[in-house]
Chain A
């Protein structure tokens, strides 16, 4: 099987637009949460979310004009805009510019979304009700379809290889990276642009997750304290938005062109809970098997995992995952560090797994585990170091990233420092 490495990174998150600006703020323990401004939230229960900081593009702010022209942006839902921004960052970072037809055909895209164009679907339904079906825009469908991030990115760059999109709720980003890596390993492509994008902060999105009792509701007085994975006072996740995209590349291909190589995709595991539509099974069996499969593929022992970026959404399920990880690691749990970066950026749903995989890459690069902020009073006594409120400087050669989604869909990625 061919080896797959990561040679480009891009992200738009509630902390910042851009990988380095986001990472710096994450390590500093900042929160991206605040009052909802995307829509008038007076009709929904939860009044806060982690929104992308829009601005003129300076100081890590997100300027839509930098990534898509206004006339094109008008035709797409925001998740496509975020995906396009992250993809452009990642491709630029990788320095990969396919010149020949063959190189273009060997470069593919796999960027997914958990829900896709939710906001435009809701707005179009209202439009039909108010003005009639004839007023539906010809850009409604191509602006809402999940695979149109991959489509738009391929059109922008001329990437003619495999064009695919994952839809597995909150596991989307991790599945996309894992599946895209397999396309390279199987020799279907040499380069894949992979990740996830999401824009769920709209009335229908917040109302829907409120109805599932999944969102935090109690901290309108201080939203930055609302996302608190593993803490006894957690009361649900905080909605986020954004995108994470990586450039995956076959190892020899990357070496031959002198690319900067961040990390290697060592392992990938997937499983299904076969239990409940929104809740994980209480023993964490699905997540456990997903991690176990990734370890087997990587050919590693549990004790070789240095850092785990947890799914850790700040819900009751946090301790189920914690239990599964501690069971998997056994005695090695005493020496590993696990954190949930959702404490800082909220839950980016279909983008979460991709953004968090990038955090693992940076943790390996900089030898530091980002903190779990707001973890003041752990709900259970952990064997693992959960990096409460402060980043942990430590040796990180191998990192594991977990993503679990509604429907009982689990994905685990193992990333590692590249060795010859």
Chain B
């Protein structure tokens, strides 16, 4: 797994309090990992902070799964 994926996973595990093996490519933050809408806002902010990028609101809305997040961030950094 890439360095980016590892760092994203660490944030997800920490913020959502889930087991690491639950954070799979297709795992949805809301449907599979127990996040609510405020959790997803906070996750996106944590990604921005960790990777020094800006994720606009319309782009943030497309980040639904762990895989989406890794893909978006890999393209942005």
Contact = CB atoms under 8 A, between A and B. Distances in A.
Interface of A: 69-72, 74, 134-135, 137-139, 142
A69 B17 contact: yes
Contacts of A71: 15-17
DSSP class of A's interface residues: helix, strand, loop or mixed? helix
Contacts of B17: 69-72
13 contacts: A69-B17, A70-B17, A71-B17, A72-B17, A74-B15, A135-B45, A135-B49, A137-B45, A138-B41, A138-B42, A138-B45, A139-B42, A142-B38
A137 B15 contact: no
Contacts of A142: 38
A70 B17 CA distance: 7
DSSP class of B's interface residues: helix, strand, loop or mixed? helix
A297 to B, nearest CB: 43
Interface in B31-71: 38, 41-42, 45, 49
Chain B contact-residue range equals: under 10
Give the most central of A74, A134, A138, A142: most B CB within 10 Å.
A138
A138 B38 contact: yes
Contacts of B49: 135
Nearest to B44: A138
Interface of B: 15-17, 38, 41-42, 45, 49
B22 to A, nearest CB: 13
A71 B39 CA distance: 10
Contacts of A134: 45
A365 to B, nearest CB: 39
A74 B38 CA distance: 13
Contacts of B45: 134-135, 137-138
Contacts of B42: 137-139
A139 B38 contact: yes
B37 to A, nearest CB: 8
A132 to B, nearest CB: 11
Nearest to B39: A138
A41 B49 CA distance: 29
Given A69-B17, A70-B17, 11 more contacts: A71-B15, A71-B17, A72-B17, A74-B15, A135-B49, A137-B42, A137-B45, A138-B38, A138-B45, A139-B38, A142-B38
A262 B41 CA distance: 46
Nearest to A70: B17
Contacts of A70: 17
Nearest to A137: B42
A387 to B, nearest CB: 47
A123 to B, nearest CB: 15
A134 B56 CA distance: 11
Q: 5 shortest A-B CB distances, which residue pairs?
A: A71-B17, A138-B41, A138-B38, A138-B42, A137-B42
A74 B17 CA distance: 11
A139 B42 CA distance: 8
